[in-house]
Amino acid sequence: MQKLAIPSPVERIRFEGREYFLKRDDRIHPDFSGNKARKFYHWLEGEFPDIRKVVSYGSVQSNAMYSLSVLAKMRGWEFAYFVDHIPTWLRKNPIGNYRAALENGTVFYEKTDIKKGKGGKEVLFVEEGGRQPEAEEGIRLLAREIVEWQERNGIEVLTVFLPSGTGTTALYLQKNCSLLTAHSSLTTKVVTTPCVGDARYLRRQFAMLESDEKLWPTVLDTRKKYHFGKLYREFYRLWLELYRQTGVEFDLLYDPKGWLTLFEKKMWESGGEILYLHQGGLKGNESMLPRYRRKYPELDNEF
């Protein structure tokens, strides 16, 4: 197996006339990257002689599903994944995360009740999107990389920005950055925006993982409500613009909402430097991009 490229690199990008730092967690490994590599790090690095099989559930194009299929393949485990429904067109023409997971040997179960806790110690059960305490191990490493980089570069006040799904990454990142900087002059503030539900949903997610609210990230949201997985013109336009100006391919599901929030809230006015966390997810673009192209062909011609 190819080694994980951690610490991941930090680059400087310029977008709409302003400079940002970009932490490239998408560069950790060609197949096992982004925040899922951080969240599943515990099971990649530890010793688990009893585990034979991974069981999880969620959407049929989930980034977490794809990363788990890679993890299972790397470790020689079976991978069973439960979904509500696989559309017939997708079954006939697999694409994106679904195709990649199939190629890694994932066995899909449709409309079957998932039996949590069954199968004993041979079975590793992973919550949807990897929302569970084991995720903290890899995210603690990420926090350490960020704070050490901040220290080396003499950045007193740093805002780390990232869009959230379950909020697991943002929560454990803020918690560990706070603990690491508790006795130093550095401030490391984690700011996020909800992509799946609203701010209340996101805070409920935080509460499930950490009871001390002082360790929670700051949640900001856009005025307009966006629904997860829906295609918005302003999202695609922003994504194309990001690519044109920075040369970086961002994810199409979370990052447009992230950058939109950053702009709407004028994050640069909060003082200090901004570090945007690239959380990977590019395999998912294989299915999102054709949908965007079909829906807004005129934007492709503009760029």
Ligand X SMILES: *Cc1c(COP(=O)(O)O)cnc(C)c1O
Per CB under 6 A, residues contacting ligand X are: 34-36, 63-64, 129, 163-170, 251, 254, 279-281
Distance CA 195, CA 3 (A): 31
Closer residue to ligand X (CB): 79 or 172: 172
- In the complex, minimum distance from the CB of residue 152 to ligand X, in angstroms, rounded to a whole number: 26
- In the complex, minimum distance from the CB of residue 14 to ligand X, in angstroms, rounded to a whole number: 22
Distance CA 58, CA 292 (A): 23
Closer residue to ligand X (CB): 24 or 52: 24
- In the complex, minimum distance from the CB of residue 54 to ligand X, in angstroms, rounded to a whole number: 17
- In the complex, minimum distance from the CB of residue 131 to ligand X, in angstroms, rounded to a whole number: 7
- In the complex, minimum distance from the CB of residue 63 to ligand X, in angstroms, rounded to a whole number: 4
Closer residue to ligand X (CB): 79 or 250: 250
* Residue linked to tokens 């084991």: 134
Closer residue to ligand X (CB): 150 or 285: 285
Closer residue to ligand X (CB): 129 or 296: 129
